[in-house]
């Protein structure tokens, strides 16, 4: 039985010891000096061993990309508290803010009808509801700017990280920072 390695885009995906070569694309006969504990790549049709240093660099790069995506998701979750979880909710907040500004500029504004139901539920005037909406919008805008700054900062720090341990520490820091801001 021979060892076969399956490659995709030059990267080793799997290894199998079989009687004959699999019929699917990407399978190559392993070289005579093949070692199951090592990683290989396919370059210019030749199977080459990946050095330990190269493998570490590749893992670091892949981890950086995955963590950057994870940071975006964490920040999006934090941001959704202020902008809503859907485009429709976000649009609703924007309309409420526009109506509130209009009402504060002109108490007889027709846009007051948009926030009147909210005022009635709270037993407050339309003008008071407009002030409440604008105060919440201002806080939300500040939180959104803060979250985007945090995201940009941590993505830069991740990109400059030199070890997996540094990346783990940075991910823990941003998670802790975002959770602390929620409370």
Domain boundaries, the chain: 2-50, 57-182
pLDDT of residue 15: 94
pLDDT of residue 87: 80
pLDDT of residue 182: 72
pLDDT of residue 80: 84
pLDDT of residue 78: 85
pLDDT of residue 150: 92
| Helix 164-182, helix 126-160: angle, nearest 10 | 170
pLDDT of residue 183: 66
Over its length of 183 residues, how does the chain's per-residue pLDDT go in tens digits? 899 999 999 999 999 999 999 988 899 999 999 999 999 999 998 999 999 999 999 999 999 999 999 999 999 888 888 877 778 888 888 888 999 999 889 888 888 898 999 999 999 999 999 999 999 999 888 988 998 999 999 999 999 999 999 999 999 999 999 888 776
Using CA atoms, how far apart are residues 76 and 144, in angstroms rounded to an integer? 10
Give the tens place of pLDDT for each residue, 122-134.
999 999 999 999 9
Q: How many CA atoms lie within 13 A of 122 on its CB side?
A: 14
Using CA atoms, how far apart are residues 120 and 83, in angstroms rounded to an integer? 23
Using CA atoms, how far apart are residues 38 and 16, in angstroms rounded to an integer? 14
């Amino acid at each position: 039985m021979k060892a076969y390695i399956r490659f995709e885009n030059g990267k080793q995906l799997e290894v199998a010891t079989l009687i004959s070569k699999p019929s699917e694309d990407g399978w190559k006969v392993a070289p005579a000096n093949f070692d199951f504990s090592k990683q290989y790549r396919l370059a210019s049709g030749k199977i080459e061993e990946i050095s330990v240093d190269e493998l570490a660099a590749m893992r670091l790069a892949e981890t950086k990309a995955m963590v950057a995506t994870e940071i975006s998701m964490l920040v999006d979750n934090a941001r959704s508290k202020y902008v809503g979880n859907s485009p429709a909710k976000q649009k609703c907040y924007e309309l409420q803010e526009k109506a509130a500004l209009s009402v504060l500029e002109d108490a007889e504004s027709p846009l007051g009808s948009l926030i009147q139901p909210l005022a009635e539920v709270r037993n407050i005037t339309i003008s008071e509801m407009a002030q409440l909406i604008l105060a919440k919008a201002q806080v939300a805008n500040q939180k959104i700017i803060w979250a985007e700054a945090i995201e940009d900062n941590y993505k830069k720090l991740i990109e400059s990280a030199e070890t997996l341990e540094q990346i783990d520490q940075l991910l823990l820091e941003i998670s802790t920072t975002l959770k602390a801001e929620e409370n």
